[in-house]
Amino acid sequence: MTERVVVTGIGLVTPVGSDRQTTWDSLLKGRSGIGYISLFDAEGYDTRIAAEVDDFDAAALLGRKESKRLDRFSQFACVAALEALEDAGIEMDAEDPDRVGVLIGSGIGGIITITEQHKILLEKGPGRVSPFLVPMMLGDIASGQVSMMIGAKGPNFSTVSACATGADSIGEALEMIRRGRADVVIAGGTEAAVCEIGVAGFNSCMALSTRNDEPQKASRPFDSGRDGFVLGEGAGVLVLESLEHAEKRGANVLAELAGYGSSSDSHHVTQPHPEGEGAARAMKWALGDAKLAPEDVVYINAHGTSTPMNDKFETIAMKKMFGEHVYDLAISSTKSMTGHLLGAAGGIEAAFTVLAINEGAIPPTINFDDPDPDCDLNYTPNTAVRREIGVAMSNVFGFGGHNASLVFKSFQQ
C-alpha cells in the first residue's frame, strides 16, 4: 500500500508578506506586492519594477554573523523553513534526524553573490574575492543550510528545473516519503534574482513587463493587456510527513498531497508548447498518481505568468485536460500579486493551494480588466471567492520545457 503523505506546516516569505498569515491575508485582499526596484539602481533598464520582499531583516531573524554568510535566496529559505517547522509543531529533539530530509530548490541560486563578487574581482583583483563566494552561490546551498540549521540528517539535495523547481522539489519529497526513506521532509523553493544581471538578462529575452508607469497593474495574467511577467523573490516551504508519523505525534494536518506529475515539452528553450501538450500530460499524470478524475478538481492555481504565449497555451492545456469540466473550475494566478518567483514559484503556489483548501477561499487574479478571447475560463477575476475545495491542483511550467503539477486534497481519515 502506498504511504499517504500530508502537509502539516507552511512557511512563506513573499512580496506580499514576510510570513504565512500576512501573505495569505494580502492575497485574499487582492494586494499587489509589485513596485519600483529598490535593491539596485534600475535607471536605464527597460524594466524598472519588481516584486521585492519588503522589510526583510535577515540579521534579526537569523543572527548577524550567520546572515552575512548567506546569499539572499538562502536567507529566504532558512526563514521560511523555520516558520514551516514551527507551524507544523516539529521539535527536532523529538525526531530521529536520520529520518528528516530537506529538499529546497532554486532555479538560479546565488546570483546576487556572484554579481557582487565579480565586481570586486574586476575592481580590486582576485585576492579580494570572498572565501564564502562558492558556498554562498551554489544552487543547492539553501537546502544544505536549512539541514545544518535544524540538524536534519536525512536526504538533502536540490532539484533544478527552472520555474518548476519548487513543485518538483515537493513532488520528489512526496516520492521520498512514499519509498520509506524519510518520515518528514522540508520541501519547497527559494529565489532572489532581483539584481542587475537578472533583470538585464530577462529583459534581453523580452520576458519582462515594461509597464513601468503602473507597477501594481503590470502583472495581469490572462488579460489582453499583458506584456510580460514581473520578476519576484521569496521562498515557499512545506513540511511533508507520512500520515502515520503525523498521526503518531498528533499533528494538525492541513491537506493531503495526493499526486505529482512531471513532464517535458521537448519543444523550445523558452516557449511553451503551442498546444499545451506537455502541460496537459503533467496534469494527467498527477491526477492519475492521485487516483482522481478530472471532475474531482475544484480549483487550479495556474502558472499564469502574464506573458502572451504562456497564458494562452496554458488555457489550451487546461481545456485539453479537463474537457467541458474546465468551465466549472475556479482558476487563479496569484502571480498577479506576487510576480513570478521563478524557482520559488512552485513552493509558494503549492502553499497557496493548501491554504485555499484549508481556508475554503480562492485568491483572485487581479488586474483582470479586459479578457483575452483566447483566455475564456473562470480566472476568479479581481475578487477572492469563498468556496469549499475538496481537490485542488497547482501547476508550474518552466524554461526548458519543464512541467510540474501537484494535486492536493482536503484531509480525510
Q: What is the pLDDT of residues 200-229, one digit of tens each?
A: 999 999 999 999 999 999 999 999 999 999
Rounded Cα distance between 397 and 282, Å, is 10
Inform me whether the pLDDT recorded for 269 exceeds 80. Answer: no
Strands 299-301 and 391-398: parallel
Helices (H) and strands (E) in the chain, counts: 14, 14
Mean pLDDT of 271-275: 66
Q: What is the pLDDT of residue 43?
A: 96
pLDDT at 92: 96
Residue 340 annotated among the catalytic residues of the structure: yes
At residue 253, the pLDDT reads: 98
What does each C-alpha distance from 208 to 199, 234, 340, 343, 401 come to in angstroms?
A: 8, 18, 10, 16, 18
Return the pLDDT at 398: 80
Q: What percent of the chain has pLDDT over 90?
A: 91
What value does the mean pLDDT take over residues 324-337?
Answer: 98
Residue 394 — very low, low, confident or very high, per pLDDT cuts 50/70/90? Answer: very high
Q: What is the pLDDT of residue 395?
A: 97
> Helices 308-322 and 277-290: crossing angle, nearest 10°?
40
Alpha-helix runs per DSSP H in 225-344? 243-248, 277-290, 308-322, 335-338
Q: What is the pLDDT of residue 3?
A: 84
pLDDT value for 266: 66
Q: Which of 78, 195, 273, 303 is catalytic?
A: 303
**Annotated catalytic residue: which of 273, 340, 375, 402?**
340
Is 375 among the residues known to form the active site? no
Closest CA to 165 of 262, 274, 78: 262
The answer on pLDDT for 270 being more than 90 is no
Residue 271 has pLDDT above 90, yes or no: no
Domains in the chain: boundaries: 1-400
pLDDT at 176 over 70: yes
Q: Strand, helix or coil at 367?
A: coil
pLDDT tens-digit series, residues 85-142? 999 999 999 999 999 999 999 999 999 999 999 999 999 999 999 999 999 999 999 9
With 0.85 as the threshold, say if the pTM is over it. Answer: yes
> What would the pLDDT profile of 298-308 be if each residue is shown by its tens digit?
999 999 999 99
List pLDDT tens digits, range 67-78: 999 999 999 999
Q: Enter the C-alpha cell of residue 12.
A: 512563506
Are the beta carbons of 333 and 221 closer than 8 angstroms?
A: yes
| 166-186: average pLDDT | 97
Whether residue 402 lies in the annotated active site? no
Q: What is the pLDDT of residue 274?
A: 65
Please state the rounded mean pLDDT for residues 368-385: 96
CATH number for 1-400 (one of 3.90.1150.10, 1.10.10.10, 3.40.47.10, 3.20.19.10): it is 3.40.47.10
* Mean predicted confidence (pLDDT) in 133-160: 96
Q: Which of 368, 304, 18, 329 is nearest to 163 (CA)?
A: 304
Whether pLDDT at 399 is above 70: no
Q: Which residue in 163, 195, 245, 273 is the catalytic one?
A: 163
So what's the pLDDT on residue 1?
Answer: 52
Percent of the chain's residues with pLDDT above 70: 97
Q: What is the DSSP string of 45-109?
A: -S--EEB---S--HHHHH-HHHHHTS-HHHHHHHHHHHHHHHHHT--GGGS-GGGEEEEEE-SS-
Do 195 and 40 form a contact (C-beta atoms < 8 A)?
A: yes
